[in-house]
Amino acid sequence: MLDLPAPDAELMTLRVARAEPAADGVQLFELRHPEDAPLPAFTPGSHLAVRVPSGAMRNYSLCNDPHERDRYVIAVKREENGRGGSVALIDGTPPGATLQVSAPRNLFELDTRAPEYIFVAGGIGITPILAMIRYLQAEGGKPFRLFYLTRNSASTAFREDIAAIGGSIVIHHDEGDPDQAYDLWPVFEEPGRAQIYCCGPRPLMDAVRDMTGHWPENAVHFEDFGSDLVRPRADDQPFTVCAGAEAAPLDVPVGTTILEVLRAHGRTLPSSCESGTCGTCRTRYLSGEVDHRDMVLTEAERQEALMICVSRARGTLVLDL
């Protein structure tokens, strides 16, 4: 989950109508207007930015049917080794409490014109996909296949909801053993007409991206909140970035992004997800060896552009700014 600056004036105060476990380590929150007024509409794949009791902002996908206007439902995975936002939210938000939330935003838009869909959800990544499936069902139904991959039965949120929806659904548990991971290759071996939506941990998204390189461009969509895209890797190295051919080099230390460094030096640059999945921060570069870490650019696009919210470089990178 990302720390997003959100002025209080842009936030709504909502009542927590329900706060209860949805699975081991997953807490469901149902949010309503304090006077039961209708809430701003949302589209499938949308998320809310929530101010957690510690004051930080975190993004959570909406998982209820987007046709509903009387409530927002989110499910929060308790990240014991995270930065504390999820633990503060779960432990500090009983039913009847209030939460400040943004209006819904969508960085994982469902293409409602697609003839069919393939959904791949890893763990808590089921939340935006559940909203998509609920939306499609309410709209009369279109063919879809869901692959919901979790560690075990106890950690599988919304199991009953999904069973009630029916359709082509695979729920697979790997018991934490990579050797028991579900083999998605037969699903993607033959390119088809489906739009593919994948939300889950980085290794799962990497695997799906690797298996769908031969699918049409723009057929595969990813969303990542809270996985390790933006966390340092053990082999990360500092490098320098120049904001233009004539610009002075700026240091990008380990644990800091190009975007953060440029902003710290006064550049105003657009961003949204800050996890390499939305495409907003796409920036052309003139020279340098880029270590691409996004989920949106094709190999051809990577020859001239990068996502500066996540990608790094070796040596000196010169941006076309």
Interface with ligand FES (CB under 6 A):
271-274, 276-281, 294, 307, 309
Find the shortest distance in angstroms from Cβ 276 to ligand FES: 5
Find the shortest distance in angstroms from Cβ 222 to ligand FES: 10
Residue 31 or 278: the one with the smaller Cβ distance to ligand FES is 278
CA distance 241 to 235: 19
Residue 25 or 276: the one with the smaller Cβ distance to ligand FES is 276
Residue 69 or 231: the one with the smaller Cβ distance to ligand FES is 231
Catalogue the E-assigned strands of the chain.
Answer: 12-23, 26-32, 46-51, 57-61, 72-77, 98-101, 105-106, 117-122, 144-150, 168-173, 195-199, 220-223, 239-242, 249-252, 282-291, 305-307, 312-319
Find the shortest distance in angstroms from Cβ 20 to ligand FES: 32
For 27-43, give the DSSP string: EEEEEE-TT-PPPPP--
CA distances from 141 to 46, 73, 136, 161 (A): 20, 22, 5, 16
Residue 140 or 270: the one with the smaller Cβ distance to ligand FES is 270
Find the shortest distance in angstroms from Cβ 201 to ligand FES: 18
Find the shortest distance in angstroms from Cβ 250 to ligand FES: 18
Phi-psi region of 255 (alpha: psi -120 to 50; beta: other; left: phi over 0): left
Find the shortest distance in angstroms from Cβ 118 to ligand FES: 23
Residue 131 or 307: the one with the smaller Cβ distance to ligand FES is 307
- Report phi then psi at 9, rounded to 5: -60, -25
Residue 14 or 261: the one with the smaller Cβ distance to ligand FES is 261
Intra-chain end-to-end CA distance of the chain, in Å? 28
